[in-house]
Chains A and B, each alone.
Chain A
Amino acid sequence: MRLYALAVYLFLYLPIAVIAVFSFNAGRHASQFTGFSVQWYGKALSNPFVTEALWTSFVVALSSALIASVFGTMAALALQGMKGRVRMVADALIYVAVMVPGIVIGIATLIALVTLFGWINPLLARLAPEGQAPQLAMGYGSLIAAHALFSMSLVIIILRARLAGMDRSLMEASADLYAPPFATFWQVTLPLIFPGILAGFLLSFTFSFDDFIIAFFVAGSETTLPIYVFSSIRRGVTPEINAIGTMVLAVSLILLVAAQLTLRRGIKTGAQ
């Protein structure tokens, strides 16, 4: 049993080890180790395309996760205890958003937005003075919007499970004591569901930061980190990519540990 577990862990970490080892390769080729060097870390961090891709990924992940957390929490609260047709439609939409493959979402968003922009841009051009018209295009906006859609579904699902397990009597007691609804929310509901929101936020951030497929179609001329990695792999990898991967892994590890600690504290408070 223990041996089996060890074998599975080896399987899980073999590629990670390969990535990390070759990130310290002195040579240019990703398949021949020619000596130890940290030059690729320096190269990666001083390459404006890498730093910009990192920044783009960070901004997109942060914005989409924030939007998803706020709007998702609002929707989950509204849906709490709701029955009837609205609830059915909402459930169906969430179901579809989670189930439709990312590749279809990406393509669908691409053709819808490209077509819509094709209709809107000429109108904008007519409204504004010559050459001044803002032109809509794929980019940050479409990336954030597409990622926020999937993330919002995640947040709603997580919170729904949490709200369902929550003691309604607390909120009712609060209302009985004539607390205004807003005060009830701030002082009773929010602390109770906060661990769920945080979990949803972190999950959303991770999803967006790592997503390649949707971004590939809707990013327009922006380059996120996974898109950069993809084009690097295609043009023949230098250890620069390994260095980026190793750095992202290290940062993810730190985030993961932080998230674990917060979540565990949250679960404890939630259980009290």
Chain B
Amino acid sequence: MTDKIDHISRQKFMEELRRYQRGSVTRRHFLGVTGLGAASAVLGAAMPGLMPRAAHAQSIGDRVVLASWPNYHDPANFDSFAAESGATVQLNVFGSNEEMLAKLQAGGSGWDVFVPTNYTITTYVEQDLIEPLDLALLPNYDPASFDQRFAGPGTVNGTVYAVPRNWGTTGFAVNTDHTGGTTPTSWKEFWDLTQTTFSGRTMVHDYQLTTIGNALKYFGYSFNSIDPAELAKAEELLLAAKPHLFAISSDYQPSMRSGDAWMTICWTGDGKQMNRDMPEIVYVLGKEGGELWSDFFAIPKGAPHRDAAYALINYLLAPEINAKEVMFHGYPVADARVNAILPAEMLNDPILYPAADLLSALEFGAAATLTDPNRAELMARFKAA
């Protein structure tokens, strides 16, 4: 990587970025032109820490298994990781943190990296299922550049177990072709529409935290409530809505895009991805509140390809790669270095960065919800009903 190429690339990147911002080129063109070469060159200048990667290249093995979430990774970045490091990424996706926990508890998951959400990390530590991270192997992780609100939960009792991936919100997406010109703004409307004009067209997550949590919001209770009386009300609502649901699944994009489903509980990035391609699908944060979350990279105990795991996390944390991920999946990051190279349009997007009053109503998930037997059983009963 010579300085000359570096400069040209950087210059070209900025040009493309400006063209993109003016709207004279499409996002695809922008990504294609600035893609790997340009963006990594920017990084090469800014991040000498990236260099150890070359030393790793020979020794990390030919594969790495990642357990993560649907529509959360740009396949192009896995391809470039494979080209650079020699390790192919196998992505397994899950619909809930419970599912990930169950797989790890049963033993022998075979995962090298997984992506838990903020509130689950203390449980993984208590259950001895997660490795403390060796930050020396993650030179691209710069704690100082991360917003502590989102990075904090990765550290338990002073030990870093997980480094931040993205943060986001849990709202709902609705296809406005079917709302008669109005857009619902609350969880109350979400559940009421489900049982009336949207009957047979609504999806909820196969995930107790968000599905029960947003049913609780209907009554104005805390998203994290484990109070039996409040949960009983939520169950009543869920059981009433069940016959009107299209599906219970955390991978709702295919159904929303095909028009089979009209409304779904939705995460930031999915909302952004759908809205980008189909402007009639809008992303809404219920005004009663809901979830604010932050995801992390972590390595489970007994990961079979530990070196590759560190290499992959490190690679995805490189600001220019992380920026490409954001452009692909539409989830914000808490890394100031990434935000510095993201186009202003992205940084001003209300789906990614909601208005302050909407944001302040949101709650982080609470650890108690993951292990509360009543919530787990309620969700299971709701699905089996």
Contacts and interface: CB of A to CB of B under 8 A. Distances in A.
Direct interface between A and B, CB < 8 A: yes
A253 B90 CA distance: 29
Centre residue among A114, A138, A221, A223 by max chain B CB count within 10 A: A221
Interface string B50-66: 00000000000011000
Contact of A221 (B71, B93, B304): B304
B222 to A, nearest CB: 31
A117 B304 CA distance: 19
Contacts of A235: 70, 91-93
Contacts of B108: 137-139, 220-221
A157 interface: no
Contacts of A114: 106-107
Contacts of B251: 234, 236
A236 B63 contact: no
Contacts of B63: 48-49
A139 B92 CA distance: 18
A221 B90 contact: no
A114 B102 CA distance: 13
A54 interface: no
A35 B88 CA distance: 27
A221 B106 contact: no
A47 B251 CA distance: 24
Interface string B237-269: 000000000000001011000100000000000
B44 interface: no
A231 B92 contact: yes
Centre residue among A31, A117, A139, A236 by max chain B CB count within 10 A: A236
A110 interface: yes
B132 interface: no
B110 interface: yes
Interface string B178-199: 0000000000000000000000
Given A49-B63, A236-B254, A221 B110 contact: yes
Contacts of A234: 70, 92-93, 251
Contacts of A117: 107
A222 interface: yes
B107 A231 contact: no
A18 to B, nearest CB: 15
Interface in A214-263: 217, 220-223, 231, 234-236
Interface in B74-120: 88, 90-93, 106-110
A190 to B, nearest CB: 40
A41 B109 CA distance: 28
A222 B93 contact: no
Nearest to A228: B90
A6 to B, nearest CB: 30
Contacts of B91: 235
Nearest to B94: A234
B250 to A, nearest CB: 10
B110 A222 contact: yes
A110 B258 CA distance: 38
Nearest to B87: A48
A220 B107 contact: yes
Contacts of B254: 31, 236
Centre residue among B88, B90, B109, B253 by max chain A CB count within 10 A: B90
B93 A48 contact: no
Nearest to A30: B254
B93 A137 contact: no
Contact of A49 (B90, B106, B253): B90
A222 B110 CA distance: 7
A117 B93 CA distance: 28
7 contacts: A110-B106, A138-B107, A220-B107, A220-B108, A231-B93, A234-B93, A235-B70
Nearest 7 CB-CB pairings of A with B? A221-B110, A220-B108, A235-B93, A221-B108, A138-B108, A49-B90, A231-B92
Interface of A: 31, 47-49, 110, 114, 117, 137-139, 217, 220-223, 231, 234-236
Given A114-B107, A223-B110, A234-B93, 20 more contacts: A47-B88, A48-B62, A48-B88, A49-B90, A110-B106, A114-B106, A137-B108, A139-B108, A217-B106, A220-B107, A220-B110, A221-B110, A221-B304, A231-B92, A231-B93, A234-B251, A235-B92, A236-B70, A236-B71, A236-B253
